[in-house]
Amino acid sequence: MVSLSTQKQPQHRWTVRLFLLAGGYAVLIVVSLVSLYPAVIMLLNSFKSNSEILINPGGLPIHWTLANYANILYGSQALVQQFWNSVLVTVVTTLLSMLFSAMAAFAFAKYRFPGRNILFLLLLATIMVPMEITLPPQYLLFAQVGWINTYQVQILPFIVPVFGVFLLRQYMLSIPDSLLEAARLDGANEWLIFWRIMVPIARPALAVFGILQTLSVWNSYLWPQVMANDTGVAPLMVILPNLRDTVVGFLPVWGTIMAGCVLATLPILILFLTNQERFMQGVVMGAIRE
């Protein structure tokens, strides 16, 4: 009697575990399908004509067409200039923000100066302030200096993001001070210490920040919509949702918009897929580094 009950208990436990495991996988599959559904609809609608989208927005294309992509690339609603605007702003902003954020993080992590902690807390407090509150005074400021509808208004305000300073500072705090002191004893100046010691060691954190900053700048909409909505300097995300039928004038050309969304998603997707391992390695190393 006792032996039978003891044999049933392990079987019951394994049954419960398998049930929980299957239920967990079922939930993950449902969540994945719900998350992927908008992207799949976007891709399918990019191969439909504008008239077909109105009658068949959620199904497979009845008549497959590449006219939307042709229109985006070299047609009447070509967005090649806006695409390169996005590339220029994203690349320059990301590179400058990585450099200046690393320099600021190095100062906050390894230098001792009066008011260091208070100044850092004040910087962190600015994260709590929504952009919508500071947008009107910033618009007035940049309008007075003549920066509206320029590249610099899209780049310079974001070259030292507080989040990047915080992320890199936390990583640099884990680097031993003895390593820096040894470099100073060998005659290295502060710039050499930063460039030859701190930057290589903090490369995983820099990679993580670079990817996040690229995503943030590339997907930015509110700031360039207000500050740089001229077609000559505006990024792709600003012009793309405003595409209208050239004949009627007020109807959105959903097929062309969907094709533009697919093309706008490709650089970010390629960036993530090619740097996924480095991104995860940087997160893990930053979490377990002593």
pLDDT digits (tens, 9 = 90+) for 214-223: 989 999 999 9
The Cα 13–Cα 254 span in angstroms is 53
Q: How far is CA 218 from CA 9, 182, 210, in A?
A: 56, 41, 12
Q: For each of the domains in the chain, give its residue range(s) and CATH number, in order of start.
A: 2-68 (no CATH), 77-288 (1.10.3720.10)
Contact 51, 201 (CB under 8 A): no
What pTM was computed for the model?
0.84
pLDDT of residue 173 exceeding 70, the answer is yes
Residue with tokens 């390894």: 110
The Cα 229–Cα 207 span in angstroms is 30
The Cα 150–Cα 228 span in angstroms is 6
Summarised one tens digit per residue, pLDDT across range 34-80 is 988 999 999 999 999 888 988 888 888 988 999 999 988 887 777 88
The Cα 164–Cα 25 span in angstroms is 35
